[in-house]
Amino acid sequence: MDSAATPDYFVGVAQQALWVLALTAAPILIPTLIAGIILGMIQAATSINEQTLSFVPKLILIALCLVLFGSAMLGLMADFTRDIFARIPDVVR
């Protein structure tokens, strides 16, 4: 077993994968969460219980975030995937 294929190595790869996941999901989840809270407060204050009133703005916000941050998110995932594939020869030795 090579020194690269230790349990600590795989824990490090898993930590890196979780970090990439967080960086990829955050540009979509955080604005959507904030919009949901604001829309929920508006709905509570006005007693309007229409589901589409909260769904459609969040859907539009998600689409806008994907347009703005999609290329950066895809680049981050592609870099991580290339790095993982580049590490395969070190692990199988």
Q: What is the pLDDT of residues 49-81, one digit of tens each?
A: 888 888 999 999 999 999 999 999 999 999 999
Q: Is 27 helix (H, G, I), strand (E, B) or coil?
A: helix
- DSSP letter at 6? S
Q: Distance between CA atoms of 69 and 80, rounded to whole angstroms? A: 17
Give the pTM.
Answer: 0.78
* 3-state DSSP assignment of residue 3: helix
Instruction: Give how far Cα 63 sits from Cα of 8, 27, 28, 56, 57, Å.
Output: 38, 11, 9, 11, 10
